[in-house]
Amino acid sequence: MTRRARSMAPAYIILVIASFLSVFPLYYMAVGATNTSMDVTSGRLIPGTHLVENFKSLISNQNLGVAMWNSLRNSTVITLLTLLICSIAGYGFEIYHDRRKDKLMSILLLAMMIPFVALMVPLFRMFSGWNMINSWIALVLPAISTPFMIMLFRQSARSFPHDIIEAARLEGLSEIRIFFQMFIPVMKSTYGAAMTVTFMNAWNNYMWPRIVLQSNDSITMPMLVANLKSGYVVDYGMLMLGVLICTLPTAIIFLCLQKSFANGITGAVK
């Protein structure tokens, strides 16, 4: 073993341990989905043969198809609207820059310090006054524009070449065509990062949907998983399977967009 290899050995050992600690909860969840409740509580770490039984118990106790459809629909619509609205806002804050917009942006950044829990009561009273409780609009509206996403697109717009905008204006392109035909294709990495974060937040959101969606037909996957723990006796095998199914969509999205996520967060322009 060379001197360089010996010097790097502690770093590799630490990385292996950190990787194991990161992956082990996912492995334990996947293994638990194949075992009985007694096996899960006893800490069994090898796959079992109870996966089909757990799935049958899950679909017999909960409306899995409706929950998956509701979560997928809500997350997709929220993600698309957030990308459109926040990217237009971030683009406008940077490209049409002035002091008044800087002050408004400062107010938005201060809003990031307010936890959503502090806003739930006024939001509920507002939507209740509009008779929108248990409506899809009440779920979507508070989520489609966030200060963090506006700040992310504004910071990315700073790296967008302004010479391209001036040249496009000289060619007679409208501001809308410049945004959709030039800004969006160049900022694909930023959109990938924003899509990953927004979809994961929308999919995993539990508290606000639980408050405003009060019918069984509006149940989402996080609400379904919470229902699996509400009985006197918890079937941990079925619970692990529900958590695994709830985790898969966000894991797939992140794995497909991880390169764009890394480039978008670091501000890279492709």
pLDDT of residue 265: 66
Radius of gyration for the alpha carbons in the chain, expressed in angstroms and rounded:
23
pLDDT at residue 267 tops 60: no
- b/e per residue, 237-248, with b = 16+ CB within 10 A? bbbbbbbbbbbe
Q: What is the DSSP letter of 7?
A: H
Whole-number Å distance between alpha carbons of 5 and 7:
5
Whole-number Å distance between alpha carbons of 24 and 114:
34
pLDDT class of 268 with cuts at 50, 70, 90: very low
Whole-number Å distance between alpha carbons of 132 and 63:
24
Q: Is 169 helix (H, G, I), strand (E, B) or coil?
A: helix
Token readout for 80 is 């698309």
pLDDT at residue 225 tops 50: yes
CA angle 77, 145, 101 (to 5 degrees): 145
Among the listed residues 146, 137, 131, the one whose alpha carbon sits nearest the alpha carbon of residue 82: 146
For the chain, domains (ranges, CATH) are 3-269 (1.10.3720.10)
Whole-number Å distance between alpha carbons of 73 and 220:
10
pLDDT of residue 16: 86
pLDDT at residue 266 tops 70: no
- Dihedral angle sign, alpha carbons of residues 185, 191, 193, 195: negative
C-beta separation of 147 from 109 below 8 A: yes
Token readout for 146 is 């966030």
pLDDT class of 183 with cuts at 50, 70, 90: confident
Q: Mean pLDDT throughout 64-89? A: 92
Whole-number Å distance between alpha carbons of 70 and 27:
27
* Predicted confidence (pLDDT) per residue in 138-181, tens digit: 888 888 888 888 888 888 888 887 788 888 888 888 888 888 88
Q: Mean pLDDT throughout 120-147? A: 87
Give the DSSP letter string of 105-119.
HHHHHHHTTS-HHHH
CA distances from 15 to 9, 20, 254 (A): 10, 8, 21
pLDDT of residue 269: 45
pLDDT of residue 198: 92
Whole-number Å distance between alpha carbons of 197 and 29:
23
* Residue 78 burial class via C-beta count within 10 angstroms: exposed 0-12, middle 13-18, buried 19 and up: buried
- Determine the angle formed by the axes of helices 147-157 and 188-204, rounding to 10 degrees: 170
Whole-number Å distance between alpha carbons of 162 and 91:
12
* Predicted confidence (pLDDT) per residue in 97-116, tens digit: 778 877 888 888 888 888 88
pLDDT of residue 72: 93
C-beta separation of 237 from 33 below 8 A: yes
Give the mean pLDDT of the chain: 85
pLDDT of residue 216: 80
Q: Mean pLDDT throughout 201-230? A: 87
Q: Mean pLDDT throughout 76-85? A: 93
pLDDT class of 4 with cuts at 50, 70, 90: low
